[in-house]
Copies of this chain bind each other. A is one copy, B any other.
Amino acid sequence: MTLPVTLEHETTVISKDGKKSRTETVAIETPFKVALNDETIGASMVLPTGLQEFGVGFLFGQGYIQTKEQVKEVYVCPEGRISVYADVETTSPKEVIITSGCGGTGKISRSMLEDAFEPLAECQISLDEIEKFILEVLHRSDLGLKTHCIHACGFWHEGRLAAFYEDVGRHNAVDKVIGAILMGKIPAKGAIYTTGRLTSDMVLKCARIGIPIVMSRTAPSSLGLAIAKRAGVTLAAYARPHRVNCFHAHERIVS
């Protein structure tokens, strides 16, 4: 099932030279409901790609699903519903915090912020790998260049780009990668790279799923950094093909 991800729209460019018509490509943002064991948990605006992964990652982000073993089946109805079946009780986190971040999840429970983290798998990435990783993510799709409204997210495992997702929200793109981990498509042991900022919830969900290396094209916030420090996650910001600025646990990056 492939749903359209862009539409064309006639715009008017206004400058000192007057008004001129132009055709722009616009990213499609569409509401999808996410249900867990036939109970609707929420609805989110998404770019309609990687919807199975999104549904699972969304439920993980909000604390409904914890492990890969819990996930049983996922169905996507193109009319706007993602149905996840999992061995879990469908209870909501008690106290939720709405996050500053872009994206699908939008809320996290206070306990997720305060609970201890599991130890992370040992893992390293070299500067040469980082170069390949970033270039492959940035060149994989022209949707971002066309619409200026897309975040990309990739996952690097054992020397290759193992997953690539895009979304209107930086969070949703990360949720799709996390959903791929929970669906057994990729392992958590590797590096994630996002074009979005690393605010609290972005780092939190990566730490909770057990990704040891979290990289971004841009900056972390104070709470994103604090979570990385507490979880022991390598936080590499301003990541470029030849250079990263590591805010925590730089020993996992080798030159």
User: A138 in the interface, Cβ–Cβ < 8 Å?
Assistant: no
User: A106 in the interface, Cβ–Cβ < 8 Å?
Assistant: yes
Smallest CB-CB separation from A27: which chain B residue? B221
Taking CB atoms, residues of chain B closer than 8 Å to A237 are 11, 24
* Cross-chain contact B225 with A26 (CB below 8 angstroms): yes
* Cross-chain contact B18 with A255 (CB below 8 angstroms): yes
User: How far in angstroms is the closest Cβ of chain B from A178?
Assistant: 16
User: How far in angstroms is the closest Cβ of chain B from A243?
Assistant: 4
Query: Contacting A27 at CB < 8 Å: which of B22, B30, B47, B222?
Result: B222
User: A12 in the interface, Cβ–Cβ < 8 Å?
Assistant: yes
Complex: A171 Cα to B106 Cα, angstroms: 12
Complex: A113 Cα to B31 Cα, angstroms: 11
Number of interface residues of A (CB under 8 A): 73
* Cross-chain contact B103 with A29 (CB below 8 angstroms): no
User: A232 in the interface, Cβ–Cβ < 8 Å?
Assistant: no
User: How far in angstroms is the closest Cβ of chain B from A112?
Assistant: 12
Q: Which of A99, A218, A253, A255 has the most CB of B within 10 A?
A: A99
Q: How many monomers of this protein are in the complex?
A: 2
User: A42 in the interface, Cβ–Cβ < 8 Å?
Assistant: yes
Taking CB atoms, residues of chain B closer than 8 Å to A169 are 99-102, 199
Taking CB atoms, residues of chain B closer than 8 Å to A11 are 237, 245-247
Query: Contacting A100 at CB < 8 Å: which of B14, B45, B220, B250?
Result: B45
User: A224 in the interface, Cβ–Cβ < 8 Å?
Assistant: yes
Taking CB atoms, residues of chain B closer than 8 Å to A123 are none
Known: A106-B107, A169-B100. A250 touches B29 (CB 8 A): no
Query: Contacting A30 at CB < 8 Å: which of B44, B102, B105, B222?
Result: B222
Taking CB atoms, residues of chain B closer than 8 Å to A197 are 148-149, 168
The 7 nearest A-B residue pairs measured at CB:
A106-B106, A45-B100, A100-B169, A29-B221, A102-B102, A148-B219, A12-B250
